[in-house]
Structure 1
Amino acid sequence: MNRLGRSLLAAFVAVALVAGAGCASTSTQEGSGEYLDDSVITGKVKTAIFRDATLKSAEINVETFKGVVQLSGFVNSAADIRRAMAVARGIHGVVSVKNAMRVK
Structure 2
Amino acid sequence: MKFKLTTICFAIATLLVPLAARAADADSDRTQPGTFVKDSVITTKIKAKLAGEKLSSLARIQVDTDSKGAVVLSGSARTKEEAEKAVSIAHKTEGVTSVTSNIQIKKDE
8 Å CA contact retained: 1:23, 1:32? no
Q: TM-score, normalised by structure 1?
A: 0.75
Within 5 Å, give how 1:1-104 maps onto structure 2. 2=4, 4-25=7-28, 29=29, 33-53=34-54, 55-57=55-57, 58-65=59-66, 66-104=68-106
Provide the aligned C-alpha RMSD in A: 2.4
**Whole-Å Cα distance in 2 between the matches of residues 24 and 86 of structure 1?**
26
Q: Would you say how many aligned residue pairs link Structure 1 and Structure 2?
A: 100
Which letter maps to 2:16? Answer: V
Q: Give the 3-state SS of the residue equivalent to 2:94 in structure 1.
A: coil
- In the alignment, the residues of structure 2 paired with residue 15 and residue 95 of structure 1 have an alpha-carbon distance, to the nearest angstrom, of 31
The answer as to whether partners of 1:41 and 1:94 remain within 8 angstroms in 2 is yes
Q: Where do 5+ consecutive residues of structure 1 fail to align?
A: none
Residues 27 and 35, structure 2, Cα contact 8 Å, conserved in 1 = no
1:20 to partner: Cα distance: 1.7
Greater share of helix = 2
Greater radius of gyration (CA):
2
* Whole-angstrom distance in 1 between the partners of 2:21 and 2:9: 18
Larger deviation: 70-79 or 34-43?
Answer: 34-43
% identity of equivalent residues: 30
- Structure-2-length-normalised TM-score: 0.72
Whole-Å separation in 2 of the counterparts to 1:16 and 1:38: 24
After TM superposition, the structure 1 stretch with the greater mean CA deviation from structure 2, 4-13 or 55-64, is 4-13
